[in-house]
């Protein structure tokens, strides 16, 4: 539900720009507002899940997400949509990390790769279902139904959670780290806010510099705080573990590409190439098909080559495939475009299955909630920064004024995003050849 909603909204951005009379680039606020809300509240998700129980928290989160969905459908302006997307994000901030806690806490370590492979499935089904669903909705109805469709899905999901998710007994989380939460929230909000507005004229330069200064100072203050207290809201001491550190930092760089692509591709297809939402949605199915096809072979590849080699190869391949849409033109054969998206989806799926799993290879059981919280926060910040970075590159390629978004304007954004994604490669090379061997099923030696 969450990933279908986000990918469908990305496909509908050109239609929303007409409905609200807003520049398409500015509509990235509808995407980043959700991610910002999720990233701000997510640091508290581990403590909340341990304090009130993962199943109860998960049900509450789905209720908040559904309320936000209904309100988004009734939005009359970009401002209202941003506000209600923020409410959705507050629900999503608990759904994703608490779901991860349930899976990691329940799965035996020797089956964690398979379990995490299934856990990432919704993130892959979303890009598969979202674009064509949005195209269908926009073909027969209007954009609010992109949000209203969440209601029956969410209600069925809540019934399934009540029926199948067992109660889990989590360790006592202790007192809540209020000071750390406030510092982290300020740092995350100002960092994404500064990244979202840089270079596109939404905010005066002095205010942008002020936001950046606040972000850096609050981040430094949080780091000092987190290293002094026993149970910080985001336990940065986990980054001392090699596998977790490589997953977090490398995953941040690669997820910037994952965040930028769903924003850039619909604009390229619908505005740059003049396709209809239905045509754009059907073509982008290729990415989801590639991702799903990887699920059955990812455990075998990781077991055969190990986490280190898998991550190095998949990162390089996915970075190249992320940059290739820069060369899509009206004359580019449709089968070639679909083929690029299929391979891109396969490589991204392989990379994220490996990086999401190796993060927990050496994490003690009693710190799973803390690790899940740090993972979700870094993931969402990376997605938000990726959208902002892609928007900035598109703005720079567009030049002064509001020049038409012709296909050549997308060369810089896609190549820049691909280069940033490739920077994770050197981090993965520092891993031990036997990193995560005990959970990947690979013989050590």
Residue range 176-204, pLDDT digits in tens: 889 999 998 898 888 877 777 665 556 67
Burial of 171 (0-12, 13-18, 19+ CB in 10 A): exposed
274-285: per-residue pLDDT in tens?
A: 888 778 877 877
pLDDT score of 123: 66
Can you tell me the distance from the alpha carbon of 209 to that of 212, in angstroms, rounded to the nearest whole number? 5
Closest CA to 196 of 28, 38, 420: 28
As a whole number of angstroms, the distance between CA 92 and CA 82 comes to 15
pLDDT of residue 52: 87
Same domain, 192 and 125: no
Long-range (24+ apart) CB contacts under 8 A made by 320-324 are 320/418, 320/422, 321/347, 321/348, 322/257, 322/261, 322/414, 322/417, 322/418, 322/421, 323/414, 323/415, 323/417, 323/418, 323/419, 324/414, 324/418
Angle at 313 between CA 308 and CA 315, to 5 degrees: 95
3-state secondary structure of 402: coil
CB 168 within 8 A of CB 102: yes
Q: Return the CATH number at 323.
A: 1.20.1250.20
The CA radius of gyration of the chain, in Å to the nearest whole number, is 21
Are 248 and 388 found together in one domain? yes
**Separation between Cα atoms, residue 134 and residue 7, nearest integer Å:** 8
Task: Examine the domain organization and report whether 437 and 336 are in the same domain.
Answer: yes
Within this chain, do residues 252 and 125 fall inside the same structural domain, yes or no?
A: no
Q: Is 169 helix (H, G, I), strand (E, B) or coil?
A: coil
**Other beta carbons less than 10 A from residue 443's beta carbon:** 8
Please indicate, yes or no, whether residues 259 and 200 belong to a single structural domain of this protein.
Answer: no
From CA 358, how far away is CA 353, in angstroms rounded?
Answer: 9
The DSSP line for 164-198 is: HPPP--PPP--S--HHHHHHHHHHHHHHHHHHHHT
Outline where 53-106 has alpha helix (H).
54-73, 78-106
Q: What's residue 61's pLDDT?
A: 92
Q: By C-alpha distance, which of 191, 174, 171, 185 is closest to 225?
A: 185
Q: Are residues 124 and 219 in the same domain?
A: no
* Distances in whole angstroms, Cα of residue 13 to Cα of each of 7, 20, 335, 425, 428: 10, 10, 25, 32, 35
The answer to whether residues 28 and 355 touch, using CB atoms and an 8 Å cutoff, is no
In this structure, the answer to whether residues 333 and 390 fall within a common structural domain is: yes
The whole-number pLDDT of residue 445 equals: 46
pLDDT (0 to 100) of residue 25 = 67
Report helix, strand or coil for 14.
helix
Give every residue of the chain whose pLDDT is below 70, as ranges: 24-25, 109, 117, 121, 123-128, 170-171, 197-203, 400-402, 438-445
**Residue partners of 250: CB distance under 8 A and separation at least 6:** 311, 315, 355, 424, 427, 428
239 CB neighbour count, 10 Å cutoff: 15
- Number of compact structural domains in the chain: 3
List Cβ neighbours of 297 (8 Å cut-off, separation of 6 or more).
none
Residue 350 · residue 314 · CB < 8 Å? yes
**Cα separations (Å) of 430 from 97, 156, 306, 366?**
27, 44, 14, 27
State the pTM of this model.
Answer: 0.72
Gap between the Cα atoms of 320 and 326, Å rounded? 11
Is 305:160 a contact under the CB 8 Å cutoff?
no
> 206 with 310, same domain?
no
Task: Give the residue from 232, 248, 265 where a domain finishes.
Answer: 232
Question: 264 with 379, same domain?
Answer: yes
Which of 68, 107, 110 has the alpha carbon at shortest distance from 87? 68
Distance CA 44, CA 176 (A): 8
Question: Is 443:114 a contact under the CB 8 Å cutoff?
Answer: no
pLDDT (tens digit per residue) in 159-178:
988 888 887 776 677 788 89
Domain check: are 24 and 97 in the same one? Answer: yes
Q: Structural domain of residue 120, as residue ranges?
A: 1-176
Residues 50 and 184 in one domain: no
CA dist., res. 257 & res. 239, Å (int): 22
DSSP 268: I
The verdict on 246 and 185 lying in the same domain is no
């Amino acid at each position: 539900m969450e990933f279908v909603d986000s990918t469908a909204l990305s496909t509908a951005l050109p239609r929303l720009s007409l409905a609200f009379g807003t520049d398409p680039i500015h509509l990235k606020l509808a995407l980043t507002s959700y991610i910002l809300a999720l990233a701000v509240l997510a640091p508290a998700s581990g403590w909340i899940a341990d304090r009130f129980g993962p199943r109860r928290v998960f049900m509450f989160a789905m209720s908040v997400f559904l309320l936000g969905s209904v309100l988004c459908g009734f939005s009359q302006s970009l401002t209202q949509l941003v506000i209600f997307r923020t409410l959705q994000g507050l629900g999503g901030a608990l759904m994703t990390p608490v779901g991860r806690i349930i899976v990691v806490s329940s799965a035996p370590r020797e089956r964690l790769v398979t379990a995490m492979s299934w856990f990432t499935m919704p993130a892959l089904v979303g890009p598969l279902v979202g674009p064509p669903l949005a195209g269908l909705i926009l073909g027969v109805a209007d954009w609010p139904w992109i949000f209203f469709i969440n209601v029956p899905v969410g209600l069925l999901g809540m019934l399934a959670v009540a029926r199948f998710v067992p109660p889990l007994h989590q360790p006592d989380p202790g007192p809540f780290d209020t000071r750390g939460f406030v510092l982290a929230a300020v740092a995350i909000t100002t960092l994404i806010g500064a990244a979202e507005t840089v270079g596109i004229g939404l905010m005066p330069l002095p205010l942008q510099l002020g936001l950046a200064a606040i972000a850096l100072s609050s981040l430094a203050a949080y780091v000092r705080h987190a290293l002094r207290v026993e149970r910080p809201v985001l336990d940065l001491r986990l980054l001392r573990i090699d596998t977790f550190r490589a997953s977090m930092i490398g995953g941040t760089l690669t997820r910037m590409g994952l965040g930028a692509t769903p924003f850039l591709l619909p604009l390229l297809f619908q505005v740059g190439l003049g396709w209809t939402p239905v045509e754009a949605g059907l073509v982008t199915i290729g990415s989801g098909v590639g991702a799903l096809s990887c699920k059955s072979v990812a455990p075998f590849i990781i077991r055969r080559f190990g986490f280190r080699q898998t991550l190095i190869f998949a990162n390089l391949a996915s970075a190249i495939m992320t940059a290739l849409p820069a060369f899509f033109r009206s004359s580019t054969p449709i089968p070639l475009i679909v083929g690029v998206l299929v391979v891109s989806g396969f490589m991204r799926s392989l990379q994220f299955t490996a990086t999401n799993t190796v993060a927990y290879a050496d994490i003690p059981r009693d710190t799973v909630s803390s690790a899940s919280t740090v993972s979700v926060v870094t993931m969402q910040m990376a997605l938000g920064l990726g959208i902002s970075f892609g928007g900035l590159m598109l703005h720079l390629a567009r030049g002064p004024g509001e020049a038409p978004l012709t296909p050549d304007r997308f060369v810089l954004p896609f190549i820049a995003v691909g280069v940033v994604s490739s920077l994770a490669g050197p981090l993965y090379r520092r891993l031990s050849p036997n990193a995560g061997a005990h959970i990947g099923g690979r013989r050590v030696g």
